[in-house]
Structure 1
Amino acid sequence: MEDGEIVERLLKGIDAGDFVEGDRLLPERRLAETMEISRARLRRALDHLKEEGRLFRHQGQGTFVAPPPALEVAGHETISRQVTPQNVMEVRMEVEPALAALAADRATRSELASLDRLMRATLSVNDPEAYEAADAVFHYRIAELAHNPLFLSIYQSIRAVRRHARWADERRLTHSQSRMSQLGRQHEALTQAVMDRDPREAARLMEEHLVTVSNAMLRERGERFVISAPQR
């Protein structure tokens, strides 16, 4: 079996649910035995799919078909009961533009191609739940392409707090079709800036995108505070 055939078989098995348990891929040894290939050949295929942004690895957790669940750190649940959407968006406004700038500077050519594909997935969805899933993968991929483990860890902490916060599920209620289209267009412009290797523009566009997300969410909650991009 050629390497390309292994990749195709993996994707078909993942789509069919044969090679996954929840969001997690089967353990390597078990998956290699199931596919009747060596673990070395399996790892090559997994590396290829990770490079394309179709799989996500997290040390100590395994390989996932979606961004891995944020690691539980003592205090996340406690913090999540205290933070507001405003608190989270203020932190995102500081962290994610920096991630976008680093991605523009550091992503490989193949990684840029995967980001473009993931961005297009946010343009082709029609319901809020599907948009949320595509959006989560897109933003996580940018965090990965920054190639900074500490920044990625910080981003994971943000995801962990949002996962525990009671108000997190309310966000999808703010996504009308017109708003999803607007956010998708912002993803498209942001991706182009990253692909153009323009860190400053990538950071600016990420700020603009997060301002749109934040203001929409806060208005829907009836909160008076409206966030604006930080002055740099």
Structure 2
Amino acid sequence: MGSSNKHPEQTLLDAIENREDNKEFISGGRLLPERTLALKLGISRARLRQVLGELEQSGSVFRRQGQGTFVAPPPAADAGRIRILAGRITPRDVMEVRLEIEPALAALAAERASVDELKLLGQLMQATLDARDTTTYETADEIFHYKIAEIAHNPLFLNIYNEIREVRKQASWTQERKSAYSKETIFQLGSQHKDLMENIASRNSEAAASVMRIHLLTVSNTLLRHRHYESS
């Protein structure tokens, strides 16, 4: 019944790393139900839960009660409503909200994150530094920023942030980021992530908020320059 001779965790990791091409374990960014996964891997559901727990601890997956296990941060609860909203929102609208919300989340993360959460955030930050292409960077970036929102430990803030994420995901202009990010830009943004991580880890909430603001402005300016170039 097992799909390979590999350790189940490694089998799942391989699927997660190639999620765009692998439909055996993942559908729509979400792992298949536990019973199905356990059968495919040839292990008990208890063992599967242990494996998923290990993957969650490493930052490879995220689990949401009642919705399943995701290879990236989970979608907002009301994606249908947000899809309609996304059609009316511009990149500027999103950035205005992000500049209000995310510096505050960074400051709260600096004040409230546990030692284990900071360790995981550091691993997620490193993934953005190690990204070799835009697609890899985009995934690592999304997970890193989501984790900051999560370790701020404010459910209302996290809900608002999830809606921002969903708008960005569904808006027609989202694909512009992939063509706007050069290797130099990815390196610059990753370096800002490192600075941000260091300030959160040192519990410097004011500096963390400031670095987050600078980081978001860099993202915004990069997209604006790209739009100007494309239209000229």
Tell me the residue number matched to 1:227.
none
Equivalent-residue separation in structure 1 for 2:8 and 2:81 (angstroms): 41
Partner in structure 1 of residue 11 of structure 2: 12
Which SS does the other structure have where 2:69 is aligned? Answer: strand
Gaps of 5+ in 2: 1-6, 16-21
One-letter amino acid matched to 2:145: H
Corresponding position of 1:121: 127
Q: Which sits farther off after the overlay, 78-87 or 47-56?
A: 47-56
1:63, CA displacement in angstroms? 0.4
* d(CA) in 1 for partners of 2:25, 2:88: 39
Report the counterpart of residue 19 of structure 2 in structure 1: none
Q: Which residue of 2 aligns with 1:210?
A: 216
4+ residue runs over 4 A deviation: 33-38
| 1:170 partner SS | helix
Tell me which residue corresponds to 2:83: 77
Deviations 1:132-171 (A, max 9, x none): 1111111111111112221111111111111221111111
The equivalences for 1:70-109 within 5 A come to 70-73=76-79, 75-109=81-115
In 1, Cα distance between the equivalents of 2:45 and 2:155?
A: 26
Task: Give the counterpart letter for 2:14 in structure 1.
Answer: D
CA RMSD in angstroms comes to 2.3
Return the letter of the residue paired with 2:175.
D
Equivalent residue for 1:178, pick from 172, 176, 184? 184
Say which SS state the counterpart of residue 63 (structure 2) adopts. strand
Q: CA deviation at 1:35?
A: 4.8
TM-score (norm. length: structure 2): 0.83
TM-score using structure 1 length: 0.83
Q: Decide whether the 8 Å contact of 1:143 with 1:155 is kept in 2.
A: yes
By how many angstroms is 1:40 displaced?
A: 4.2
Q: CA deviation at 1:199?
A: 1.4
Distance 1:52 1:192, change over 3 A: same
- Rounded Cα–Cα distance in structure 2 between residues aligned with 1:125 and 1:14: 17
1:65 to 66, 71, 75: 71
Asked if 1:142 corresponds to 2:148, the answer is yes
Q: Which residue of 1 aligns with 2:162?
A: 156
Determine whether 1:188 maps to 2:187: no
Q: State, as a whole percentage, how many aligned pairs show the same letter.
A: 51
Question: Which ranges of structure 1 fall in alignment gaps of 5 or more residues?
Answer: 1-7, 224-232
- Number of aligned residue pairs: 217
Q: Is the 8 A contact 1:52 1:111 kept in 2?
A: no
Instruction: Note the C-alpha offset of 1:186.
Output: 0.2
